[in-house]
């Protein structure tokens, strides 16, 4: 592990808005903010999650765009979201938090009392092998996990460079009779000035340099 990663991990531990409990703690003790995130944010405004948040471009970008709402980024790699956590610390952002954990552990952190009404999934691993379908963040298995804590009619946003994940997600939406809001195979053509879709992640910038179109779907859970 590089020196910078060690430094970032160490600094993450000093941030009051970063949570990284050990797995045995989740199982044996539970997560103290589950059902009580309003006590951290000191309000009961809705919460938006960014899953697999990477460097947290969407967590920070949306939190700046909507200061009256609350935002939580979740990723297993704390050295990645350190950048967003550092930015939130430096700018004294009160509506941002981060969780270091695998996404399949998400139900240990949230329940229906947490008023989550929006989930962003930004450039996840498309898990193209059929044997990995259950690991896709828009699979029926993950949608079931989200339903256990999200509010009714929560909006799911998927932004991806993977046409296979895009098409797969459309099939899941159709098979489960979910309400689709928007589907675009190229956001630059369909939504060139959309403020939320204009936020770019680190990986998005890479795919754009390679000339890949960016796909987007939003639907109701």
Residues with a catalytic annotation lie at: 125
How many of the other CB atoms lie within 10 Å of CB of 63?
26
Locate 191 and state its tokens: 């939504």
Question: Nearest to residue 77, comparing CAs of 105, 106, 98, 108?
Answer: 98
Across-strand partners of 73? 50, 98
Burial class (CB in 10 A: 0-12, 13-18, 19+), 208: middle
Distance spanning both ends of the chain, measured CA to CA? 39
How many of the other CB atoms lie within 10 Å of CB of 101?
21
Locate 151 and state its tokens: 């509010």
Locate 207 and state its tokens: 């795919």
């Amino acid at each position: 592990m590089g020196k910078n990663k060690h430094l970032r991990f160490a600094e993450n531990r000093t941030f009051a808005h970063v949570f990284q409990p050990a797995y045995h703690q989740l199982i044996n003790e539970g997560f103290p903010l589950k059902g009580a995130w309003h006590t951290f944010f000191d309000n009961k405004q809705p919460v938006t999650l960014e899953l697999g948040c990477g460097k947290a471009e969407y967590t920070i970008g949306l939190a700046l765009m909507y200061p009256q709402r609350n935002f939580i980024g979740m990723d297993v790699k704390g050295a990645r979201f350190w950048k967003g956590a550092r930015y939130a610390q430096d700018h004294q952002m009160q509506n941002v938090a981060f969780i270091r954990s695998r996404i399949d552990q998400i139900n240990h952190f949230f329940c229906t009392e947490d008023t989550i009404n929006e989930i962003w999934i930004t450039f996840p691993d498309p898990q193209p092998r059929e044997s990995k379908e259950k690991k896709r963040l828009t699979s029926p298995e993950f949608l079931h996990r989200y339903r256990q804590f999200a509010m009714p009619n929560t909006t799911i946003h998927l932004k991806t460079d993977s046409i296979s994940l895009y098409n797969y997600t459309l099939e899941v939406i159709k098979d489960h009779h979910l309400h689709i809001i928007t589907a675009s195979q190229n956001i630059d053509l369909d939504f060139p000035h959309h403020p939320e879709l204009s936020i770019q992640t680190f990986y998005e910038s890479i795919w754009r340099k390679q000339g890949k179109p960016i796909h987007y779907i939003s639907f109701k859970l």
